[in-house]
Structure 1
Amino acid sequence: MTRYVIIGAGAVGGTIGGALARTGQDVLLVARGRHAEVMREDGLTLRTPDGAFTVHPPVITDPAEADLTVDDVLVLTVKTHQAVDVLPVWADLPVWDAGTVVGTAGERLPIITALNGVVSEDLASRWFRTVLGCCVWLPAIHLEPGEVIVRSAPVLGMLHIGPVPLGPAPAALTALQQPWTDSGIRVALPADVMPWKYRKLISNLGNGLQAVLGDDHPALAELTARAEVEAREVLAAAGIELVDEDEHTAARADSLTPRPVPGEPERLGGSSWQSLARGTGSIETDYLNGEIVRIAHRLGREAPVDETVARMCRRAATIGAAPGELAGQLLDALGVGS
């Protein structure tokens, strides 16, 4: 039986791992700190619009404890800025088959890159031969140890997964589509996943604005629109393909049904907001807004809105600012009245 090793069991990884464990799939969660301790002691609780459930899959904190075999599939769900530290550690772990080491994880195992942004596939390819890019639509929040809040049900999340570079889907990928979908994690297998990931990148540009402004600031929608317009111009100039807008809208509408979670506010922040709310000291914005800036600079262009957002997010994370605390500074930097 295939085992799914969830590397980073936070909001996204916890939702995927929890959903799979609930339906009897073999899951190993990899986490750290108090979150790992609580999951080991009391299990992982997923709270959804349809109610809560708790699962008790095994949890490790040290990759060396994984005891990888040829039946494993790795699912990378850390933040993008953490991936470069995580990937080589996992790639060099031994893989066992019938009591014999037959190679390393980088040589023998597929890795699914379920991260925001568009660079994790290239990063993973430095260490892994089989990289499965993944576009993640999954409205989840992880703030408390041992708990993930998922704001969609009965489908908890929508994943588009495909090999990078382009090629036939490996057997491990086609084999997971039905059991994952049955668990509440709907999986689609497009011929090319990267146009989906670039379109998702545009949708993620508001994450940093939400984090710095707060999730209900009156300027949030206007500034998000400015960042997105800027990004579309840069991506078009670079000749980067986006999935057809109608196809993108239809896929989301067919899959996700966001609803309030009992006992929680109707509005809760996204991944970058959660980083500031938890005081992690880091944030992934350099691989979201910062990716637009990188592409712009490569073309000899500027992307001032996205550059400003990325810079302010770095500052907020570095000084430990709470969501909304630096709103005035961001508005001043963007020339918007508070």
Structure 2
Amino acid sequence: MKRYIVYGAGAIGGAIGGRLLQAGADVTFIARGANLRALKEGGMRLRTPSSDDRLKVDVVGSPDEAHIGAQDIVVLAVKTQDTAAALQELVVAVPDTIILCAQNGVENERLALRQFSKVYGGFVFIASAHMKPGHVDIYTGSSPGILDIGRVPGGADSTADQIARDLQAAGFDAVARPDIMAWKRAKLLMNLNNGLQAVSGSTIAELVDLARLAGEEGKTCLDAALLSYVPSDQVIARLGSVLNFSTIDGQPFPGGSSWQSMARGTSSEVAYLNGEVVLIGRELGIPTPINLFLHETVQRMVRDGSKPGTLGLDELYAALTGLTSQQRPAAVSQG
């Protein structure tokens, strides 16, 4: 089994690297600041609905300290806004080092291909949270999540097969896919909901109608750009067959990546989620008022240091439905 270099030991990187470590893989984490100190001093606390483990981890503060070789697999798990800087640091690795982008959005792979020839995309659905240095919580039961792998720009190969097997050994539901970017674009459409959660602090169930509006804009843009994506019913069936959400200490999964970033007071990846739709729309002359509003609102809230829920659900509905001809369903109204 090759060594995995997990660059970013947050919610996703911590969950992937922690589970690989528990399965016997050779794992090195690259972390920063308080998280680096916590991991060095006390290891990683990795919790699930049925377990609470303290893992001794190999952790360094930079790629240079990791001594990355040609046989290593670098798992990029930083937010997209940090990918370019991370890749610049990774030039200490050899050019044919394997890079696996275990990230939201569809920009990371393009950035990685500028520097490395062996780039793989990951369709990631892991309900994990990183709200305290050195701590990672995974809120699903029998499986820690889904992580499908494919070569970019397309095609599955023996490396994708091997990574999928390693992830399966770590408990993940992992498949090597030749059309991984179509799956990642489908995940992008789902992630448009992240901005809604970050703005309102509401649940996915409360936001279903607004998520549909954001998703329709996204599909219109992807269709016009001739970019394929897996149908939503196929993705939902995949998720439903694997994931079993539960609680930790009686608390449910707190929210997606944008919600967590805003709650921690850090930068948001919304520019590469809702902002991706805005970008395609501007390139092709397609209006995207819903996603533009979410993009600009989240960015402003981050600059102001606002927390999730600053804009209530009623206010959010009024703002977004005012941009379209849609009306808020009576059954959703908070009265």
TM over 0.5: yes
Output aligned runs, 1:245-256, within 5 Å.
Answer: 245-256=232-243
Contact 1:45/1:55 (CA < 8 Å) preserved in 2? yes
State how far apart, in whole Å, the 1-side matches of 2:272 and 2:9 are: 20
SS in 2 for 1:132: strand
Whether the 8 Å contact between 2:210 and 2:317 is mirrored in structure 1 is: no
Look up the SS of the partner of 1:207 in the other structure.
Answer: helix
CA distance in structure 1 between the partners assigned to 2:311 and 2:235 by the alignment: 33
Give 1:114 deviation, angstroms.
0.7
Structure 1: which amino acid aligns with 2:274? N
Query: What corresponds to 2:45 in structure 1?
Result: 45
Aligned match for 1:334, one of 320, 328, 334: 320
Q: Check the 8 A contact 1:29/1:57 in 2, yes or no.
A: yes
Contact 1:213 1:220 survives alignment (8 Å)? no
1:98 — aligned with what?
A: none
Distance 1:176 1:331 in 2: 43
Distance 2:204 2:110 in 1: 35
1:204 maps to 191
Residue 125 in structure 1 maps to residue 110 in structure 2: no
Cα contact 2:155–2:177 (8 A) shared by 1: no
The structure in which a higher percent of residues are strand is 1
Partner of 1:101: none
Preserved contact between residue 215 and residue 267 of structure 1 (Cα < 8 Å):
no
2:260 equivalent among 271, 274, 279: 274
Gaps of 5+ in 2: 323-327, 329-333
Structure 1 residue 275 displacement after superposition: 0.5
Aligned to 1:84: 84
2:325 corresponds to: none
Q: Counterpart of 1:311?
A: 296
| 1:197-235 Cα distance to aligned partner (Å, 9 max, x none) | 011011100101101101349863332221112222222
Q: Name the counterpart of 2:245.
A: 258
CA distance in 2, matches of 1:222, 1:251: 22
Correspondence 1:93 to 2:81: no
Deviates more, 1:23-32 or 1:45-54: 45-54
Work out which of the residue numbers 269, 275, 278 in structure 2 matches 1:290: 275
User: Residues 161-193 of structure 1: CA distance to partner in whole angstroms, max 9, x if unpaired?
Assistant: 111122451x43322222211211221111110
Instruction: Tell me the secondary structure at the aligned position of residue 149 of structure 1.
Output: strand
Q: How many pairs were matched up? A: 323
Provide the rounded CA distance (Å) in 2 between the counterparts of 1:239 and 1:176. Answer: 30
Equivalence for 2:305? 320
> Which is worse superposed, 144-153 or 322-331?
322-331
Structure 2 residue identity aligned to 1:266: P
Q: CA RMSD in A?
A: 1.9
Percentage identity across aligned positions? Answer: 37
Question: Is the contact between residue 150 and residue 176 of structure 2 (CA under 8 Å) also seen in structure 1?
Answer: yes
Contact 1:76/1:115 (CA < 8 Å) preserved in 2?
yes
Contact 1:316 1:326 in 2 (8 A): no
Distance 1:193 1:304 in 2: 29
Shift of 1:246: 4.1
Encode CA deviations 1:292-326: one digit per residue, 9 max, x unaligned: 11111111111000000000010011111011124
Letter paired with 2:18 = G
Q: Distance in 2 between matches of 1:312 and 1:202?
A: 18
- Find the residue that maps to 1:112 and give its secondary structure: strand
Consecutive unaligned residues in structure 1, runs of 5 or more: 95-103
CA contact (8 A) 2:3 2:72 kept: yes
1:333 deviation in Å? 3.9
User: 2:128 matched to which residue of 1?
Assistant: 140
1: CA distance, partners of 2:20 / 2:156? 25
Tell me: CA distance 1:218–1:188, structure 2 relative to 1, closer, same or farther (3 Å). Answer: closer
Whether the 8 Å contact between 2:7 and 2:13 is mirrored in structure 1 is yes
The yes-or-no answer on 1:158 pairing with 2:157 is: no
